Amino acid sequence: MIYLLLQSMIGNEIKTARDLLLQNEVVAIPTETVYGLAGNALSEIAVSKIFEAKNRPHFDPLIVHVGKISDVELYVEEIPELAFNLMEQFWPGALTVLLPKKSCIPDLTTSGLKEVGIRIPNHPITLELLNSLSFPLAAPSANPFGYISPTSAQHVEDQLGEKIPYILNGGYCSVGIESTVLRVQDNEIEVLRLGGISLESLHRFTPSIRIEEHSTSSPASPGMLTSHYAPKKPVYVGNIRELMTSFSSQKIGILSFKEDYGVFGQRILSTSGNFTEAASHFFAYLRELDSLEIDVILAEFLPDENLGRAINDKLKRASAK
Ligand code: TXA
Ligand code: MG
């Protein structure tokens, strides 16, 4: 009985999720990138509950999710042409665009910033949910602040299960890493967070792409905090064979790109070296390794291209002290 009371519900009832959201509650929702912890983006009560459940600092703004492109103009002052072209090309999908917000979006949602990050997620259940509501959903990744992002309903349950009433189950996230966050200025794209849409695919729209440098103190996008996505076990990134020698006296786990190191606690992101497959496994494997009886996680960088670049960025943050 007590066991039952402590469980938050995992289910696939869109109506249950909707009813809770209408009451200013928070609900975990599936997206193609990672699971989000959603609440009414226009409600300070709901947004406060999101920050509280995640233990998230209030300086870190939330992404606002909408169900269709025509909704965007309800929440932003203007949409530059390049931004609109990107939205048309990549939505629904792993792209978040920063745009000047209208005053109906509370300052709490954007942490006092004048821009709001907006995206249409590509998941049928969540699209149906969004299109059944008269408000957009603020949703950060559904993990405690600083920890690994969840790519299944069970991941959410494991960490936030006692803090939220409902987890809408949409299976495993197909992309597996978060959205790319960017803003446009004139004909330039400024990327604040590398993610599921690669720089290569953005390059088709403009030759000038700038990547915001990391910062720990006053991050332009707090997903850029140096230490983030961190498992509890220490992570070392480098040449795995050399690391294996250095850590020979300890119990090691390995996260490799495609090579088999013949070790028990090992996860191979993609034996065929496919970046998309590697991204879809990345967070889940990091979590699995973190739960093994090992002392350290040894990992290697992927080639710095395509989604490999975004994964490398996360590896750097996961290993930062
Ligand atoms: O794929 C995703 O983006 C997932 C799913 C649930 O949509 N969401 C997600 O949210 O990753 P979160 O909160 O974990 O990361 C959002 C990132 C943070 O780095 C945040 O600082 C940045 O986007 N961000 C959001 N709004 C912003 C704003 N107005 N200005 C600058 N950065 C912003
Ligand atoms: Mg996050």
Q: Is the pLDDT of residue 306 over 50?
A: yes
Q: Is the pLDDT of residue 16 over 60?
A: yes
Q: Which residue from 61, 74, 51, 66 is spatially nearest to 107, judged by alpha carbons?
A: 61
Q: Is the pLDDT of residue 286 over 80?
A: yes
Q: Is the pLDDT of residue 18 over 70?
A: yes
Q: Could you give phi then psi for residue 50, rounded to 5 degrees?
A: -65, -50
Q: Is the CB of 156 under 6 A from ligand 1?
A: no
Tens digit of each residue's pLDDT (9 = 90 or more) over 229-243: 788 999 999 999 999
Ligand 1 closest atom vs CA 37: 6
pLDDT band at 227 (very low <50, low <70, confident <90, very high): low
Question: Ligand 2 centre and the CA of 2: distance in Å?
Answer: 31
Q: Is the pLDDT of residue 3 over 50?
A: no
Q: Is the CB of 17 under 6 A from ligand 1?
A: no
Q: What is the DSSP string of 238-293?
A: S-HHHHHHHTTTS-EEEEESS-----SSEEES-TT--HHHHHHHHHHHHHHHHHSS
Looking at the chain, which runs of residues are DSSP E strands? 9-11, 27-29, 36-40, 63-65, 95-100, 115-119, 137-138, 166-168, 180-185, 188-193, 209-211, 235-237, 252-256, 266-268, 296-299
pLDDT band at 212 (very low <50, low <70, confident <90, very high): confident
User: Hey, where are the domains in the chain?
Assistant: 9-211, 235-319
**Superfamily of 9-211 according to CATH:** DHBP synthase (3.90.870.10)
What is the C-alpha separation between 96 and 179, in angstroms, rounded?
A: 6
User: Is the pLDDT higher at 211 or at 217?
Assistant: 211
What pLDDT, on a 0 to 100 scale, did the predictor assign at position 221?
58
Ligand 1, atom 10: closest residue by C-alpha: 140
Ligand 1 closest atom vs CA 116: 29
Q: Could you give phi then psi for residue 150, rounded to 5 degrees?
A: -90, 135
Ligand 1, atom 18: closest residue by C-alpha: 223
- Could you name the CATH architecture of 235-319? 3-Layer(aba) Sandwich (3.40)
Q: Is the CB of 121 under 6 A from ligand 1?
A: yes
pLDDT band at 214 (very low <50, low <70, confident <90, very high): low
What pLDDT, on a 0 to 100 scale, did the predictor assign at position 230?
81
Q: Is the CB of 33 under 6 A from ligand 1?
A: yes
Tens digit of each residue's pLDDT (9 = 90 or more) over 191-208: 999 999 999 999 999 999
Q: Is the CB of 288 under 6 A from ligand 1?
A: no
pLDDT band at 154 (very low <50, low <70, confident <90, very high): very high
Tokens read off for 149: 């992002």
Contact 200/315 with Cβ under 8 angstroms? no
pLDDT band at 216 (very low <50, low <70, confident <90, very high): very low
Ligand 1 closest atom vs CA 113: 29
Q: Which residue from 313, 308, 194, 294 is spatially nearest to 257, judged by alpha carbons?
A: 308
Q: Which of 50-54, 224-228, 261-265 shows the lowest per-residue confidence on average (mean pLDDT)?
A: 224-228
Q: Is the pLDDT of residue 27 over 60?
A: yes
Question: Ligand 1 centre and the CA of 192: distance in Å?
Answer: 10
Ligand 1 closest atom vs CA 121: 7
Q: Is the CB of 212 under 6 A from ligand 1?
A: no
Tens digit of each residue's pLDDT (9 = 90 or more) over 155-168: 999 999 999 999 99
Contact 166/16 with Cβ under 8 angstroms? yes
| Backbone φ/ψ region at 306: left (φ over 0), alpha (ψ -120 to 50), beta | left
Residue 149 has a CB neighbour count (10 Å cut-off) of 27
Contact 203/209 with Cβ under 8 angstroms? yes
What pLDDT, on a 0 to 100 scale, did the predictor assign at position 228?
72
The helix (H) or strand (E) run that includes residue 201 is helix 199-202
Would the CATH topology of 9-211 be identical to that of 235-319? no
Single-letter code of the amino acid located at 301: F
What predicted TM-score, i.e. pTM, was given to this entire model? 0.94
Indicate the SS3 state at residue 75: helix
Q: Which ligand is nearest to the CA of 212?
A: 1
Q: What is the percent of the chain where pLDDT is above 90?
A: 90
Best probe residue, ligand 1, of 66, 76, 99, 178 (max atoms within 8 Å of C-beta): 178
Q: Is the CB of 280 under 6 A from ligand 1?
A: no
Q: Is the CB of 36 under 6 A from ligand 1?
A: yes
What is the C-alpha separation between 182 and 180, in angstroms, rounded?
A: 7
Tens digit of each residue's pLDDT (9 = 90 or more) over 240-250: 999 999 999 99
Q: Is the CB of 136 under 6 A from ligand 1?
A: no
Q: What contacts 315, CB < 8 A, 6 or more positions away?
A: 235, 237, 299, 301
Question: Ligand 1 centre and the CA of 22: distance in Å?
Answer: 23
